[in-house]
């Protein structure tokens, strides 16, 4: 039979074991609470990243309105670029400018956008505003771009009748999306045209007319005559000469495109004495 001392010792051991077990359980609970808080915080961060990522995706290159609440970009820049310059149909500059630069372009062409926004201001400043040359836009629709390029040049041709073609083209490039992705909707065209003074919503109609078809047919024939296969392409010649006699500018690595255009115009002026 166990002595009283043994009984006390056994009771003490059981009590200490129970206390140790309780302490261990409490520690596990605290660790689980901390871990749970960490996991919850991580989940919150993940959710925020996903939400912000989804919101940020709206700023992707899909055309007018992305990241700008539907506002047309480039309105002030277009006004600064073109104010005070005469427009006649597709032509930009003085009617009697001795040299004409024909620019073949596709409204969805990203390289045309780069030229129009980055280098065209130099061409306009150095050649058009000085009266040395005028620009003539020749919008074409490259086969790989789809029907939206055709719609864009139809609207440009319609606005050429109001001497607003260059306004439209410049705004199009400011608001250009990824080519052949369907961003050129009726709403897109209406907003662009609506940002140009002196136009109506009817000018944004993507359906052609016999008059528009005639303008575009002339451009297509000129494209064929000069063997233009890509955009932007530039043909330079004396104003008044038949356009089919113009020479395509062969671009090389010798300076910017704007510098090469300016150089070609100056060379032609010297050779022709104009």
Distance CA 80, CA 74 (A): 10
Cβ-based neighbours of 10, under 8 Å, separated by 6 or more: 2
Tell me the average pLDDT across 7-34.
47
Poorest-pLDDT segment among 8-12, 81-85, 102-106, 146-150: 8-12
Q: What is the pLDDT of residue 63?
A: 74
Distance CA 5, CA 216 (A): 114
Return the percent helix, strand and coil in the chain, to nearest 5.
60, 10, 35
pLDDT in tens, 66-78: 444 579 999 999 9
Give 191-195 contacts, CB < 8 A, sequence gap 24+. 191/64, 191/65, 191/70, 191/72, 192/64, 192/72, 192/155, 192/168, 193/155, 193/159, 193/168, 194/72, 195/72, 195/75, 195/171
Residue pointed to by tokens 């400043």: 125
The continuous run of DSSP H or E covering 87 comes out as strand 87-88
Confidence of residue 176 (pLDDT cuts 50, 70, 90): very high
pLDDT in tens, 153-164: 999 999 999 999
4 has pLDDT over 50: no
Report whether 119 contacts 256 (CB < 8 A).
Answer: yes
Q: What is the pLDDT of residue 43?
A: 36
Query: Cα 183 to the chain's mean position, in Å?
Result: 11
In the chain, the percentage of residues whose pLDDT exceeds 90 is 70
- Higher pLDDT: 231 or 19? It is 231
Provide the 3-class DSSP secondary structure of residue 134.
Answer: strand
| Two structure tokens written together for 166 | 């260059």
Kindly report the CATH class assigned to 75-272: alpha beta
210 has pLDDT over 60: yes
54 has pLDDT over 70: no
Distance CA 48, CA 66 (A): 21
Distance CA 169, CA 21 (A): 79
Distance CA 49, CA 96 (A): 59
């Amino acid at each position: 039979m166990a002595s009283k001392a043994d009984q006390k010792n056994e009771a003490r051991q059981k009590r200490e074991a129970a206390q140790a077990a309780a302490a261990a359980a409490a520690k596990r609970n605290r660790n689980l609470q901390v871990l749970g808080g960490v996991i919850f915080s991580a989940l919150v961060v993940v959710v925020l990243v996903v939400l912000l990522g989804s919101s940020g995706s709206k700023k992707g290159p899909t055309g007018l309105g992305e990241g700008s609440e539907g506002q047309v970009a480039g309105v002030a820049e277009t006004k600064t670029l073109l104010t005070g310059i005469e427009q006649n149909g597709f032509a930009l500059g003085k009617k009697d400018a001795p040299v004409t630069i024909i620019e073949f372009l596709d409204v969805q062409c990203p390289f045309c956008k780069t030229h129009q926004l980055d280098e065209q201001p130099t061409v306009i400043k150095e050649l058009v505003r000085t009266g040395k040359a005028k620009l003539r836009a020749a919008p074409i629709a490259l086969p790989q771009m789809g029907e939206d390029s055709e719609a864009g040049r139809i609207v440009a041709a319609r606005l050429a009748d109001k001497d607003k073609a260059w306004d439209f083209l410049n705004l199009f490039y400011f608001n250009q999306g990824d080519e052949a992705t369907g961003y050129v909707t009726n709403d897109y065209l209406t907003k662009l045209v609506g940002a140009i003074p002196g136009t109506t919503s009817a000018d944004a109609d993507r359906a052609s007319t016999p008059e528009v078809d005639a303008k575009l047919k002339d451009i297509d024939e000129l494209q064929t005559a000069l063997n233009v296969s890509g955009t932007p392409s530039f043909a330079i010649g004396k104003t008044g000469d038949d356009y089919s006699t113009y020479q395509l500018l062969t671009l090389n690595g010798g300076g910017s495109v704007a510098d090469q255009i300016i150089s070609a115009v100056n060379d032609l002026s010297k050779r022709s004495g104009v």
